[in-house]
Structure 1
Amino acid sequence: MTTTTITVTDIIRRYADDIAFVAEDSPATTLDSFIDQLATAADQYDTAGITGHDDVETAATLLAEAGRAENEAARDTFLKRADVLLWQIEDMTSEYRTMVGC
């Protein structure tokens, strides 16, 4: 059984544009800036009443843990868990865009 390795770069590439829109910033290019934008976006989603904002907060925590992980296996686990929680970002951002009139 083969498993796909997910990297920080993969996660940022997948979600940075949507998160940046909601955070009203340019797309993040580093893990730290992406985590900061996730926190801002989670607040924005919450304020807009969009379901899933708590998953975004949890993903930010998991990504921070991944950045501090001392071994590859732990880092990979945190990244995979964060990626699973962020799968709905495109839909959440689409709903947010509709709410703000974009």
Structure 2
Amino acid sequence: MTATADTILARYATDIAFVADDEPATTLDRLADQLMDASVTLDDAGITGAEELDVAATYLRDAEDAAPEARDVLLNKASQHLTDTTGMVAEYRLSV
């Protein structure tokens, strides 16, 4: 499945906002900021895989200014690094 900005936001914004203690992002740039914050929070909580959120944030930021073909590739790469997000957030919810 090809990732789009809308699918990434729909799938991850609420969970990431919970960890980042913020409102759900409505733009990729804001989600990237929250991913960076959430990565630190999850890492501090000892949750494995938090560094993947940093990588995804980098791809999302790069996608914002990319040409359409490159944007699709970058969004797909970001999505791949976000695959464990739901599990990490669930683990975090149990620890707070």
Q: Tell me the TM-score normalized by structure 1.
A: 0.90
Moved over 6 A (4+): none
The partner residue of 2:86 within 77, 86, 90 is 90
Deviations 1:52-71 (A, max 9, x none): 111100000000011121x2
Deviations 1:66-94 (A, max 9, x none): 1121x211111100010011011110001
Cα offset for 1:39?
A: 0.6
Cα offset for 1:50?
A: 0.6
1:54 aligns with 2:78: no
Cα offset for 1:33?
A: 1.1
Q: Among all aligned residue pairs of Structure 1 and Structure 2, give the percentage whose two residues are the same amino acid.
A: 48
Q: How many aligned residue pairs are there?
A: 96
Aligned mates of 1:52, 1:67 — CA distance in 2 = 24
Q: Tell me the TM-score normalized by structure 2.
A: 0.95
Aligned mates of 2:68, 2:30 — CA distance in 1 = 22
Unaligned runs of 5+ in 2: none
Structure 1 residue aligned with 2:37: 40
Amino acid at match of 1:52: G
Q: Which protein is bigger by CA-based radius of gyration?
A: 1
Structure 1 residue aligned with 2:13: 16
